[in-house]
Amino acid sequence: MARIRSRDTKPEMIVRRLLHGAGYRYRLHGRGLPGKPDLVFGGRRKVVLVHGCFWHQHGEERCLDGRKPKSNTGYWHEKLERNVQRDLRNQEELRALGWEVLVVWECEMRSTGELLSRLADFLGPARARR
């Protein structure tokens, strides 16, 4: 019997399925690249990062899931700030190496049509299949 695995609903899986269905091909978790970007489009020299809104702090002005916890604020502030700084550092290093970077957020999974057009704008047309 088919079993629904919870990991298949994770934002990264949604993005992977979306792009694959649209004809894009990519590598996963580019080893040797700063921060091991989630999806690597080597020929286009572009990477897509899929960020969870809480852990990567989407920011409360943009997204309700990006709010910081209201209790234990010192601990959380420090922990989440470290994540944010690491993200920025990785993205700077990727750009310095000549990669273009697109970040997509967990909350964008709610409208996959818009998400796909944003991804396609960034990536350019999918390679025609023969």
Binding residues for Zn ion (CB under 5 A): 53, 58, 63, 105, 107
Residue 21 CB, shortest distance to Zn ion, in Å, is: 23
Provide, rounded to whole angstroms, the least separation between the CB of residue 118 and Zn ion: 14
Residue nearest to Zn ion (CB): 63
Q: Smaller CB distance to Zn ion: residue 44 or 67?
A: 67
Task: Report how far apart the first and last C-alpha atoms of the chain are (Å, whole number).
Answer: 35
Q: Cβ of residue 65: shortest distance to Zn ion, in angstroms?
A: 5
CB of 52 to Zn ion, least distance (A): 8
Look up residue 22 and give its two tokens.
Answer: 């649209």
> Do 65 and 107 touch, CB atoms closer than 8 A?
yes
CB closer to Zn ion, 39 vs 53:
53
Closer by beta carbon to Zn ion, 61 or else 78:
61
CA 57 to the chain's CA centroid = 13
The conformational region for residue 81 under phi > 0 = left, psi -120 to 50 = alpha, else beta, is alpha
Distance CA 125, CA 105 (A): 21
